[in-house]
């Protein structure tokens, strides 16, 4: 498809290194079981820590970062709890919302931090209930720093993380996986290292499933800590917290907050280069890689936990050098799966949202089953309204300014719009010299799979067949094919060719004549913004257009062209013309009127070539349409006027 | 598969001439809607009337006849009501049981006749409730003949068929489709032809859906009757009852019963040849074909209803000459579908029962869903016990005597058994000169599809790999392929190669070593009668082995190898050795002991080759096993003794 469908940008990659090729297990196991399975398989893995953003645009960026860093295959990510930032609220910058977005929209197994200090039990229970409702399954239980100087132990209150662990287990039984913090050099407030170890044992005994440690600078520090933990009977997994030094100031600040001492040998290197950020970062990468190698080779460290500071470069580079970053992750399904527990069994989606998976997830969040039973003509899937374009996880990554540069400061005709589409498809600069990196229906550049069809796409878009989604025919490629593969190894994947586009009503009139020649090979569905629609779908049944056959399994058919949900998609696809494009321009401006004209008068068309063992015939269908437009037979009534007339039309509202 | 799987012998063929290629509609529509659709499409169709048998063996034969005549594609069959034969009982000869068997086990849309004369409302309601419970959906509502001479109209009782129609509509609303009888020459007891027409109108107005007429001998008689019906406002379908004259006596008897007059021109031909059955039958065929042609060409007759007298030859010949008999019916699914309403959505079955579909239907008759949700590892399908080998619809068509001739009057070794298998596979006479037409697991000769593998099957059976089910690899053949096709036109069908056989524990020991080389390409499941089993199925998940891709539809995967249900099939497959074969011989006889030895010591093995785009590797697996048996490497412990030793074993119990 266009956009992200095969870029892997939004896929959940937890299964990629699984030693047993299972479609379902990785989506159904809880975190502690995944961790145990990966550990037992001798596999090394990693996880990533993020903090919530300060601003709304920071939230949009962080979600993009989740998608990019999620593609490397972390076992989980975790989101810190910022007591000062209204962390349990519905604000787009809250810890709760960010963790929920990671789980639901980015498909990432996530841990939400929670601090209990100065909180009532009711408040904490409220947070946990909300987290559960949102699909979060893992909590990092922390005491947190007392607010103000007047904090005292409260009788029956939350004085230690142990109290929070007990409370979670008491109120929510075994629902959550619980993680607690370990301090390789002892908690700064503890009376002694041994005293702190005993506290840690209490936390684990209270029901914690694993430990993530505070950062440290020497492998020995961590390895001694693990030995000491084991010696007093702590048997759960202990994950080292890894902090790649990324800058002089951030190091100083963190060290101050965490009351850690930076070893002499590190300070000696850093002090002389403290004003050279690149040099410090490079040193940090080198130092971290070296330390991680020692840890992994010790045999006591199954996985590494990274304090990313919400940055990508250093952590990704360390992971690449360690060989833990998965460059070409295997996709469990051709679309990005969600990590919400009730979507674990989801195995089929309409193709229409292929480039807008977050919108699909949002609009189906109230469904009880995924899909409604199975896709079937009888069940009318009730999609939620999509009028919440403000939701940060659905927002375009580009600013209004950037969009105007890509899509045109001023449009002069429908052809101006056609040119935006062709620039996008060819990944070439528009006439103003700006590359078109996205369209309202495609937030990402063309997928590698779609690239294969670039010439055909270019040709038809030039003439006003404005494509927004497509896939080529695939007749049994191995499931590990780097471009089109998905699912467990040893299988074969198939596709029927698909093409979806906007085009003028004049084109549609001719297209319908052409399509008669392609019955029953080509299924079509044609609709305008007013809901006038024509289809040859049997009984409104869905048409499977992507499927896979795997050793020892039932058939998986993850993508369908479904005539019922197409009518919901139609509303969204047409609305994007206005919401994302027309509104960039002044009210009543010619540019806005051109987009409005297209919105009001064009049709949205989808075509499926059912004959997947043969060459894709959909380009021929479009060619035949052009041919008939160019050479109308005498016995056909004159077609309504073409291009220029419409351009007049929108000029006269 | 072996046996019936592709012979079409048991398939429901209602959809075969459907003008719209729909998988589901034909299974979900009620009879009156099917009839309307076929009529509107301008299609001609036929239906068949049978009466219940007198004896148990007659019932077994009638069910075979249903399978054979069902394969020609009747729109429905109907079963007459024999008041004297305990018609609503559970006896295998009752009208109720025969109609139920036709629906549930032969997949035939069926109408049960019901007469109301001399019956209480409670009794009639009881019959109707039972019919509904058994999955019957259509009733032919008749008055029936009064028993004895003292019958009088009863106040509030059932005096006319109209009363029964009203009662059905009153008690069962619109559940049943109701058919009533029409008399082209007037009912013999009616005061006049016009009076009888008025009664017919009353029956229709009371809620009948269509009319089947009494037999007649001239096309004009029927066509006038239809005109007269239309004239008084009867608008429902009127089907002509066609009676091919099959013999002099049966004609006289029927004419006497129905108080009809045989036209002069027919009597003139018949009288001279009344002792020549063949001549009369040939005349009957010719006369019927001529009359049917006139009826069909009139444009007022969409379908023909045949009084078969439970005979095949004449009716089938008439249908063939009229071009209504479907020689190569299209199969909606690769297995025989049942016509019970609750099985309408059934679209997947385990491959194990491919040759025993009636047993599968029997053992799953208590299921609420078909399948249990979908096939899934979590749902353990609870199969009913199969100890009811006496059930007439599960009985072998062959007599004990015939079975002994085919399978050996006396067995002398396991090799005697191997020879029975090879004779069956090659369709050649055994050493006593009798063709082996069936095996306990296969009641029919080898399917055309399996014939393609005859040489390989012969080779392995010779050496004690006793195959009972198999299918070749198919990689995308057109759905209208005459041998392996199924489902709507324009699609493609696929199969993974499958092989199922009994073999000795010595062979299994070696086979397991060989199978290690074929991981993960080959899935296997190996079990003995005691339930000792080995499998490499992932999480006990089903493996789809037959599937189809069709224009505008979801994927259909009608056959799976399911490790859970295999354990139920295993019990049945092993029991057939004893129930059908060993029990042919005297207790303690060597022949019985040989079969008993195999039952107690052999394993049942199934193998799937997952790599359907490549050549089937399962024969190579068996070859490798033979190779290793013939040339055991030195480092493998000596294998336990072979053939002769076992032969001693069963001689000494």
> What's phi and psi for B459, nearest 5 deg?
-60, -45
CB A603 within 8 A of CB A503: yes
Helix (H, G, I), strand (E, B) or coil at A502: strand
State residue A177's pLDDT score. Answer: 97
The ipTM estimated for the assembled molecules is 0.81
Please indicate whether residue A49 is annotated as part of the active site. yes
Q: Which of B325, B636, B342, B372 is nearest to B506 (CA)?
A: B636
Token reading at A471? 């896939």
Helix (H, G, I), strand (E, B) or coil at B337: coil
In chain B, which residues have their Cβ closer than 8 Å to the Cβ of A479? none
**Chain B residues with at least one Cβ partner in A under 8 Å:** 20-22, 24-25, 374-375, 475-476, 490, 492, 494, 520-521, 523, 536-539, 541-544, 547, 549-555, 557, 560, 608, 610-613
In chain A, which residues have their Cβ closer than 8 Å to the Cβ of B490? 520-521, 610-611
The predicted-structure confidence for B44-55, as pLDDT tens digits, reads as follows 999 999 999 999
- Decide if pLDDT at B444 tops 70: yes
Instruction: Mark yes or no for CB contact A551/B523 under 8 Å.
Output: yes
CB contact burial A587-621 (16+ within 10 A = b; e otherwise): eeebbbbbbbbbbebbbbbbbbbbbbeeebbbbbb
Distances (CA, A) of B241 to B35, B145, B213, B214: 16, 19, 5, 6
- Decide if pLDDT at A395 tops 60: yes
Token reading at A492? 């074969």
CB A47 within 8 A of CB A177: no
In chain A, which residues have their Cβ closer than 8 Å to the Cβ of B22? 538-539
The predicted-structure confidence for B450-475, as pLDDT tens digits, reads as follows 778 899 999 999 999 999 999 999 99
More confident residue, B377 or A359: A359
CB B314 within 8 A of CB B244: yes
The predicted-structure confidence for B116-144, as pLDDT tens digits, reads as follows 988 899 999 999 999 999 999 999 999 98
Residue of B nearest to A549 (CA): B544
Token reading at B533? 């089993």
Catalytic: which of A1, A14, A49, A456?
A49
List of E strands, B193-317: 210-215, 238-242, 303-307
Tokens 């309403």: give the residue.
B341
Q: Would strands B533-535 and B522-528 be described as parallel, antiparallel, or unpaired?
A: antiparallel
Distance CA A636, CA B607 (A): 60
Catalytic: which of B14, B29, B49, B109?
B49
CA distance B487 to chain A (A): 14
State residue A640's pLDDT score. Answer: 46
Residue of A nearest to B375 (CA): A554
Residue of A nearest to B537 (CA): A552
Tokens 């709304």: give the residue.
A56
Residue of B nearest to A375 (CA): B554
State residue A12's pLDDT score. Answer: 30
Q: Which of A19, A164, A136, A6 is nearest to A76 (CA)?
A: A136
Model confidence band, residue B643 (pLDDT cutoffs 50, 70, 90): very low
Model confidence band, residue B15 (pLDDT cutoffs 50, 70, 90): very low
In chain A, which residues have their Cβ closer than 8 Å to the Cβ of B536? 552
Of the candidates A492, A541, A551, the beta carbon closest to that of B521 is on A551
Instruction: Mark yes or no for CB contact B552/A610 under 8 Å.
Output: yes
Distance CA B457, CA B469 (A): 10
The predicted-structure confidence for A551-601, as pLDDT tens digits, reads as follows 999 899 999 999 888 999 999 999 999 999 999 999 999 999 999 999 999
Secondary structure of A401-469 as H, E, C letters = HHHHHHHCCCCCCHHHHHHHHHHHHHCCECCCCCECCCECCECCCCCHHHHCCHHHHHHHHHCCCEEEE
Sequence-separated (6 or more) residues with CB below 8 Å from residue A193:
A185, A186, A228
In chain A, which residues have their Cβ closer than 8 Å to the Cβ of B551? 520-521, 523, 543, 610
Model confidence band, residue A513 (pLDDT cutoffs 50, 70, 90): very high
Distance CA A386, CA A568 (A): 10
Distance CA A237, CA A75 (A): 14
The kind and range of the H/E element at B101 are: helix B95-104
Instruction: Mark yes or no for CB contact A547/B560 under 8 Å.
Output: no
Of the candidates B476, B520, B552, the beta carbon closest to that of A490 is on B520
Asked whether the CA dihedral A215, A219, A225, A231 is positive or negative, the reply is positive
Model confidence band, residue A171 (pLDDT cutoffs 50, 70, 90): very high
Instruction: Mark yes or no for CB contact B552/A543 under 8 Å.
Output: yes
The predicted-structure confidence for B165-197, as pLDDT tens digits, reads as follows 999 999 999 999 999 999 999 887 888 999 999
Residue of A nearest to B613 (CA): A476
Model confidence band, residue B389 (pLDDT cutoffs 50, 70, 90): low
Token reading at B105? 């086990």
Distance CA A259, CA B411 (A): 90
State residue A169's pLDDT score. Answer: 96
Instruction: Mark yes or no for CB contact A541/B553 under 8 Å.
Output: yes
State residue B445's pLDDT score. Answer: 83
Local structure of residue A145 (DSSP, 8 states): P
CA distance B25 to chain A (A): 9
State residue A633's pLDDT score. Answer: 83
CA distance A423 to chain B (A): 33
Of the candidates A536, A543, A551, the beta carbon closest to that of B553 is on A543
Of the candidates B551, B557, B613, the beta carbon closest to that of A554 is on B557
Q: Would strands B45-50 and B349-350 be described as parallel, antiparallel, or unpaired?
A: unpaired
- Decide if pLDDT at A434 tops 60: yes
Transcribe B553-613 into DSSP letters.
S--EEEEEE-HHHHHHHHHHHHHHIIIIIGGGS-TT-HHHHHHHHHHHH-EEEEEEE--TT
Phi-psi category of B350—alpha, beta or left, where left has phi over 0 and alpha has psi -120 to 50? beta
CA distance A74 to chain B (A): 25
CB B421 within 8 A of CB B500: no
Tokens 């997949």: give the residue.
B107
Distance CA A422, CA B433 (A): 78
How many residues are there in chain B? 653
Segment among A95-99, A447-451, A471-475, B593-597 with least mean pLDDT: A447-451
Is the backbone peptide bond immediately before A371 cis, with ω within 30 degrees of 0?
yes
What does the angle CA B446 – CA B521 – CA A71 come to, to the nearest 5 degrees? 135
The predicted-structure confidence for B145-169, as pLDDT tens digits, reads as follows 765 555 566 666 788 899 999 999 9
How many residues are there in chain A? 653
In terms of Cβ atoms closer than 10 Å to its own Cβ (0-12, 13-18, 19+), residue B250 is middle
Model confidence band, residue B17 (pLDDT cutoffs 50, 70, 90): very low
Sequence-separated (6 or more) residues with CB below 8 Å from residue B559:
B334, B335, B348, B349, B350, B351, B354, B544, B545, B546
| pLDDT more than 90, % of chain A | 64
In chain B, which residues have their Cβ closer than 8 Å to the Cβ of A375? 554
- Decide if pLDDT at A7 tops 90: no
Token reading at B607? 């193998």
């Amino acid at each position: 498809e266009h956009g992200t469908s095969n870029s892997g940008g939004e896929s959940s990659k937890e299964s990629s290194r699984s030693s047993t090729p299972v479609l379902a297990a990785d989506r159904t196991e809880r975190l502690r079981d995944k961790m145990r399975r990966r550990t037992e398989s001798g596999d090394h893995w990693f996880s990533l820590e993020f903090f919530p953003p300060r601003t709304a645009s920071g939230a949009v960026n962080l979600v993009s970062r989740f998608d990019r860093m999620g593609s490397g295959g972390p076992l989980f990510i975790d989101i810190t709890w910022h007591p000062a930032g209204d962390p349990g609220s519905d604000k787009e910058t809250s810890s709760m919302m960010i963790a929920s977005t990671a789980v639901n929209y980015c498909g990432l197994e996530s841990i939400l931090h929670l601090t209990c200090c100065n909180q009532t039990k009711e408040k904490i229970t409220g947070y946990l209930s909300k987290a559960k409702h949102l699909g979060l399954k893992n909590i990092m239980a922390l005491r947190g720093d007392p607010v103000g100087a007047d904090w005292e132990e409260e009788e029956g209150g939350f004085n230690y993380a142990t109290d929070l662990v007990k409370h979670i287990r008491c109120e929510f039984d075994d629902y959550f996986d619980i993680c607690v913090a370990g301090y390789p050099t002892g908690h700064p407030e503890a009376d002694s290292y041994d005293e702190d170890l005993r506290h840690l044992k209490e936390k684990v005994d209270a029901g914690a499933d694993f430990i993530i440690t505070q950062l440290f600078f020497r492998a020995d520090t961590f390895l001694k800590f693990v030995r000491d933990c084991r010696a007093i009977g702590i048997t759960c997994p202990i994950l080292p917290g890894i902090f790649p030094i990324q800058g002089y100031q951030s190091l100083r600040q963190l060290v101050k907050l965490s009351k850690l001492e930076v070893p002499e040998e590190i300070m000696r290197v850093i002090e002389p280069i403290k004003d050279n950020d690149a040099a410090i970062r490079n040193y940090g990468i080198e130092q971290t890689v070296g330390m991680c190698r020692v840890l992994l080779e010790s045999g006591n460290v199954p996985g590494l936990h990274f304090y990313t500071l919400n940055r990508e470069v250093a952590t990704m580079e360390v992971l690449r050098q360690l060989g833990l970053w998965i460059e070409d992750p295997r996709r469990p399904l051709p679309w990005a799966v969600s990590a919400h527990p009730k979507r674990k069994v989801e195995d089929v989606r309409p193709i229409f949202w292929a480039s807008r998976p977050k919108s699909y997830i949002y609009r189906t969040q109230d469904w009880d089953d995924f899909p409604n039973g199975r896709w079937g003509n009888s069940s009318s899937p009730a999609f939620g309204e999509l009028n919440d374009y403000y939701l940060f996880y659905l927002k375009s990554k580009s600013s209004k300014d950037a969009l105007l540069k890509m899509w045109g400061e001023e449009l002069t005709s429908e052809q101006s719009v056609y040119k935006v589409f062709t620039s996008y498809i060819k990944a070439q600069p528009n006439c103003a010299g700006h590359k078109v990196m996205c369209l309202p229906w495609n937030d990402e550049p063309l997928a590698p799979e779609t690239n294969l069809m670039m010439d055909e796409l270019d040709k038809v878009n030039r003439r006003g067949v404005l494509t927004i989604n497509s896939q080529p025919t695939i007749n049994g490629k191995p499931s590990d094919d780097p471009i089109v593969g998905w699912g467990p190894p040893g299988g074969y994947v198939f596709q029927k060719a698909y093409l979806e586009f906007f085009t003028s009503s004049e084109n549609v009139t001719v297209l319908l004549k052409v399509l008669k020649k392609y019955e029953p090979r080509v299924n079509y569905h044609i609709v305008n913004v007013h809901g006038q629609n024509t289809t040859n779908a049997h009984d409104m049944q869905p048409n499977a257009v992507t499927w896979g056959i795997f050793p020892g399994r039932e058939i998986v058919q993850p993508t369908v062209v479904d005539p019922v949900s197409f009518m919901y998609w139609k509303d969204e696809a047409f609305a994007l013309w206005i919401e994302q494009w027309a509104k960039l321009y002044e009210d009543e401006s010619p540019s806005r009127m051109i987009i409005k004209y297209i919105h009001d008068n064009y049709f949205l068309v989808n075509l499926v070539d059912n004959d997947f063992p043969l060459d894709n015939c959909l380009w021929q269908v479009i060619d035949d349409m052009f041919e008939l437009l160019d050479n109308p037979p005498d016995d056909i009534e004159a077609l309504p006027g073409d291009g220029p007339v419409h351009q007049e039309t929108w000029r006269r509202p």
